[in-house]
Amino acid sequence: MEREVMLTGIGGQGVQLAAQVLARAATLEGRNAMFFGVYGGTMRGGNTDSTIVVSDGEIAAPPIISRTWSAIVMHPQFWEPLREKLRPDAVVLLNSTLFEGELERESYRVFDLPASQRAAELGNPLTASMWMTGAYAGITGLVGLEAAIEAMQASLPPYRRQHIEANATALRAGFEAIEGQSAPAWTEG
């Protein structure tokens, strides 16, 4: 079984880190994963997207996909191309602190989550993507919380190591904000 995740936002929101954390956590748990990041022309404020494919077997699809099982939308500015790739009944996490776009909510499993607000309440607005990643793990079970924390620690470059504690706190807070898996990625059996 394969699951696709597409993330979108603007540069500086941590979209690429979130994608790397999900992919690395999946491999830590024994699954196969591939991810592909796309950056806009600017470092901060431009579009940034990432695609992840996670599988419990060989990966048949490359990480550049035409349809997705799930999406994490950190900012609405560049989200339209991603919206067109959502499968019917896709799991969609919206950063409701910032999201203003239109969405046919009856067609998808939509979760409005104030990631930017919650990260600010934790004392570090830069951890919004980690809060959303924790919430995604809680909603889907695509990866576990402890694997996500370990993956985050391994994903941060040496010059960003001072952010480990704040990112771990945000991952835990996002995960704990969710009451059980309401859109499980994996089926038993």
DSSP 8-class letter at 43: S
Whole-number CA gyration radius for the chain: 15
| Two tokens, residue 58 | 């060989």
Helix (H, G, I), strand (E, B) or coil at 112: strand
Domain boundaries in the chain?
2-176
Q: Is 97 in contact with 116 (CB distance < 8 Å)?
A: yes
- pLDDT score of 81 more than 70: yes
Q: How do residues 123-172 score in pLDDT, each as one tens digit?
A: 999 999 999 999 999 999 999 999 999 999 999 999 999 999 999 999 99
pTM of the model: 0.94
pLDDT at 31: 97
Q: Domain 2-176: give its CATH superfamily.
A: Pyruvate-ferredoxin oxidoreductase, PFOR, domain III (3.40.920.10)
> Tokens 């900012």 — which residue?
75
Q: How do residues 5-15 score in pLDDT, each as one tens digit?
A: 999 999 889 99
Strands 2-10 and 47-55: antiparallel
**CB neighbour list of residue 38: distance below 8 Å, 6 or more residues apart:** 47, 48, 49, 50, 51
pLDDT at 47: 84
